[in-house]
Structure 1
């Protein structure tokens, strides 16, 4: 079976600077079933695609035309579009005899009017299946589009735990946050919570890895400045490489995912578990599916409750180490690439058989 994975515009599929969507794809493809031949179609611009089968098209006004031509030339059995429904729907309509999936890594926004509902219904029509990264995301989608229940499926994100694994006993007194510098990630709450915690524990430090900094610095900057002004124990990194984040998590003791929105799944939570870090989580959206019983959940989520949770794990070595160890075991057995790739392969075959009948 030939499978084309089509990334949305501006996705370069870079090894060093992947977004979470590209990381999921890069983790799943090497674990694909033996009868699956996969090619990834993305925009040109990155020189570090790794050893995967990648074909690029130039970005710009002719992108859709060139993508359609590239797909026709390769002639896949299944076309798996990731994320952007408008462009995916436009291209998918040119391939009525193929099995077409839309793979959503973020929640679908609810339509604001009957016109928006009609527009989305029109865009959904070409796809035989919709893949979501958590049951939470799937249920959010079905609240607005219940008629698509028989075409909506969950394949949770995998983690290549071996890339992240580190001994849970060999840890620095370090608290880590990694995420985009946007309000939804709870960065403002964390910046309020950390000064008191760090002042109470002068031998501990915090490291904040903030993505998309240039785009969101106007909002995030004042919060970060208040943190660094209140404590000299916090280090802030803008748009760091994935390797830098991984190296930090592999020596950290605590990771914090204080998202105030419903995370689709929370890849950063899987990464923290795999690295052997005790995780504090808001549990919003799919975060509980990511961590199961292996995170300390903060509810209600405020700066005060977040500070209390961090302080608790700093003071309790046994709980912190136990959580780190159990979380690491959990992702190594539950969120493996082999399990998720097999689920996806079964879904592709099932939809292919249905569309062929």
Structure 2
């Protein structure tokens, strides 16, 4: 089978959709090496992000010729790429980040799959510009309605795709995300190296994710000021946005600025050690498509506190804790419980590791392959 992918996120995004896209390709190349995987990206981006993928003989990267690149990546992706696919004998195209090329779903000459990560722009419009909301609704909705199959990364998003975009239930399937196996086999040396390199505090709460309003880091800062344990610090790892100023102002107001540590641009190789050194992982995001950082924390043997309101319970399972994303006092009480109650902490770690076995790469590769094969059968 020859499968083509929209690789813009693979080559250009170090977090979020980039991590998801690279995880999918790394998983499939390991467990389905007999296939050909063609990556189409409007630019080479940062080769360090995907150099390991290109070591597989089955993976090939395609970028536009200079003249086409100057016309604009969007034009190349939507109209030039669909014309190239038959020349490469492509059986199926998978849009990994919410959309399909316009020229492809109109032609319908090969199988199509699209992954829809979330409809946060509909559920929480205040976090998005008006023009972006209109564009996303048009592009993502059209892609979901025209694709042979839609993959969602949580049941919550599956319900949204069916209800909001009007896609038939039988065409929408949830395939959960996973994370690198590096988070399940962390050595004490990795923890020590991360602690030394970033001058991490001895004891800390951890947050990993873009430092933007929707992720709700300020809630943890407020909770930090209410903790019984005044020796706990907060380490936040993620992309910097203007929301950082809100977080810093909150820390000053709560008198915890000296206990807040913001880390930006952290290389992926250090992340497992940073996770494993934490006493508790807190992710109070108001809305998520899934929540990969929770999976990473559970694999690393760290108890997790998420938030109610979207799909984080699907990622964290029944033995993690979940706070109201507006209630700092509730969150502070949960953090105190996890730190003080040794038996609770032990149970959360043990059950968390059992729970994330359902997100193993082998299982995900099997589920994706089944969908691909069903789509191909429908085109015969």
Same fold (TM over 0.5): yes
Partner Cα distance (1:156, 1:100) in 2? 19
* Equivalent pair of 2:148/2:171 in contact (CA under 8 Å): yes
* Equivalent pair of 2:154/2:174 in contact (CA under 8 Å): yes
Match of 1:160 among 180, 188, 212: 180
Match of 1:188 among 213, 218, 242: 218
* Equivalent pair of 1:166/1:251 in contact (CA under 8 Å): no
Question: Kindly tell me: are residues 143 and 93 of structure 1, through their superposed partners in 2, closer, same or farther at Cα, counting changes over 3 Å?
Answer: closer
1:208 equivalent to 2:236? Answer yes
C-alpha RMSD over aligned residues: 2.9
Q: Number of residues paired by the alignment? A: 339
Match of 2:170 among 129, 146, 150: 150
1:39 equivalent to 2:76? Answer no
Partner Cα distance (1:235, 1:120) in 2? 37
Q: Which runs of 5+ in 1 are unaligned?
A: none
* Equivalent pair of 2:307/2:324 in contact (CA under 8 Å): yes
Question: Kindly tell me: are residues 343 and 234 of structure 1, through their superposed partners in 2, closer, same or farther at Cα, counting changes over 3 Å?
Answer: same
1:13 equivalent to 2:27? Answer no
State the shift of 1:100 in Å. 0.7
Tell me what 1:78 maps to: 92
1:1-357 aligned at under 5 Å gives the runs: 1-8=1-8, 11-13=9-11, 18-32=14-28, 33-42=32-41, 43-48=43-48, 49-52=50-53, 53-58=59-64, 61-63=71-73, 64-65=75-76, 66-68=80-82, 70-85=84-99, 88-93=100-105, 95-107=107-119, 109-110=121-122, 122-166=142-186, 173-197=203-227, 200-211=228-239, 213=240, 216-217=241-242, 219-227=243-251, 230-231=255-256, 232-261=258-287, 263-299=288-324, 301-331=326-356, 333-356=357-380
State the shift of 1:335 in Å. 0.7
Question: Kindly tell me: are residues 19 and 61 of structure 1, through their superposed partners in 2, closer, same or farther at Cα, counting changes over 3 Å?
Answer: farther
When you count helix as a share of all residues, which structure comes out higher?
2
Question: Kindly tell me: are residues 102 and 161 of structure 1, through their superposed partners in 2, closer, same or farther at Cα, counting changes over 3 Å?
Answer: same
Q: Secondary structure at the match of 1:13?
A: helix
* Equivalent pair of 2:98/2:140 in contact (CA under 8 Å): no
State the shift of 1:305 in Å. 0.8
Partner Cα distance (1:56, 1:120) in 2? 24
* Equivalent pair of 1:177/1:207 in contact (CA under 8 Å): yes
Partner Cα distance (1:293, 1:124) in 2? 31
* Equivalent pair of 1:281/1:287 in contact (CA under 8 Å): yes
Q: Secondary structure at the match of 1:277?
A: coil
Partner Cα distance (2:140, 2:25) in 1? 29
* Equivalent pair of 1:89/1:124 in contact (CA under 8 Å): no
Partner Cα distance (1:233, 1:108) in 2? 31
* Equivalent pair of 1:167/1:276 in contact (CA under 8 Å): no
TM-score (norm 2): 0.80
Question: Kindly tell me: are residues 34 and 295 of structure 1, through their superposed partners in 2, closer, same or farther at Cα, counting changes over 3 Å?
Answer: same
Q: Secondary structure at the match of 1:4?
A: strand
Partner Cα distance (1:109, 1:355) in 2? 33
State the shift of 1:34 in Å. 4.3
Partner Cα distance (1:54, 1:228) in 2? 50
Question: Kindly tell me: are residues 69 and 259 of structure 1, through their superposed partners in 2, closer, same or farther at Cα, counting changes over 3 Å?
Answer: same
Q: Secondary structure at the match of 1:340?
A: helix
Q: Which runs of 5+ in 2 are unaligned?
A: 54-58, 126-133, 193-201
* Equivalent pair of 1:249/1:277 in contact (CA under 8 Å): yes
State the shift of 1:3 in Å. 0.8
* Equivalent pair of 1:228/1:234 in contact (CA under 8 Å): no
State the shift of 1:301 in Å. 4.1
Partner Cα distance (2:304, 2:310) in 1? 16
State the shift of 1:125 in Å. 4.6
TM-score (norm 1): 0.84
